[in-house]
Amino acid sequence: MALILDNLSKRFGGVVASENVNITVPKGKITGLIGPNGAGKTTIVNMITGMLAVSGGTIRVDDTDITRAPADQICRAGLARTFQNIRILPENSVLDNILIGFHRHERCSTLSALLGLPASRRETAAMRARAEALLERFGMRHLAEYPAGGLSYGHQRRVEMMRALASEPEYILLDEPIAGMNDVESDALAVLFRDLADSGIGILLIEHNLRFVTRLCQHIYVLDGGRLIAEGAPEAVLSDPAVLTAYVGGEHA
Partner 1 sequence: MMNLLLGYQPLLDLFLLHLGLAYAQWLVLRAGVFSLGTVGLAAVGAYTGGILVVTYGLPAPLALIASALSGGLVALALSVPLARLRGIYQAIATVAFIQIVLSLNIYATNVTGGAQGITGIPKTVGTPLLLLAGAATIYLMYAITHSRLGRAFDAIRQNEAVAASLGVSIVRHQTLAFVLSGALAGVYGALEAFHSYALVPSQFGFPYLIAILSYVVFGGRTSLWGPIVGTAVLILLPEVVRPLADARMLVFGILLILTINFLPKGIADTLIERARGRRLGARRPAEADTAKGS
Binding mask 178-217 for partner 1 (x = CB under 8 A): ----------------------------------------
Nearer to ligand ATP, 94 or 164 (CB): 164
Q: Are 219 and 231 a contacting pair, CB within 8 Å?
A: yes
Q: What is the DSSP code string of 64-95?
A: EE-TT--HHHHHHTTEEE--SS----TTSBHH
Judged by CB under 5 A, the chain residues 56 through 85 that form the site for Mg ion are 84
User: b vs e for 48-68, b when ≥16 Cβ sit within 10 Å of the residue's Cβ?
Assistant: bbbebebeebebebeeeebbe
The order of strands in the sheet holding 2-12 is 15-26, 2-12, 56-61, 64-65
The torsion defined by the Cα of 198, 139, 106 and 84, in degrees rounded to 10, comes to -80
Nearer to Mg ion, 58 or 84 (CB): 84
Residue type at 2 in one-letter notation: A
Picked from ligand ATP, partner 1, Mg ion, none, the partner binding residue 39 (CB below 5 to 8 A depending on kind) is ligand ATP
Picked from ligand ATP, partner 1, Mg ion, none, the partner binding residue 200 (CB below 5 to 8 A depending on kind) is none
Picked from Mg ion, ligand ATP, partner 1, none, the partner binding residue 250 (CB below 5 to 8 A depending on kind) is none
- Per CB under 6 A, residues contacting ligand ATP are 12, 15, 17, 35, 37-43, 84
Nearer to ligand ATP, 119 or 229 (CB): 229
Nearest-angstrom CA–CA distance, 20 and 9: 5
Q: How do beta strands 15-26 and 2-12 pair?
A: antiparallel
Q: Does 46 bind Mg ion (CB under 5 A)?
A: no
Q: Does 115 bind partner 1 (CB under 8 A)?
A: yes
Please state the length of the chain. 253
Q: Are 186 and 178 a contacting pair, CB within 8 Å?
A: yes
Binding segment for partner 1 among 23-31, 44-52, 195-203, 233-241 (CB under 8 A)? Answer: 44-52
Q: Does 42 bind Mg ion (CB under 5 A)?
A: yes
**Binding residues for partner 1 (CB under 8 A):** 49-51, 70-73, 75-76, 80-81, 83, 87-92, 96, 99-101, 103-104, 106, 108, 110, 113-116, 120-121, 123-124, 139-140, 142-143, 145-147, 155, 163-164, 167
**Binding residues for Mg ion (CB under 5 A):** 41-42, 84
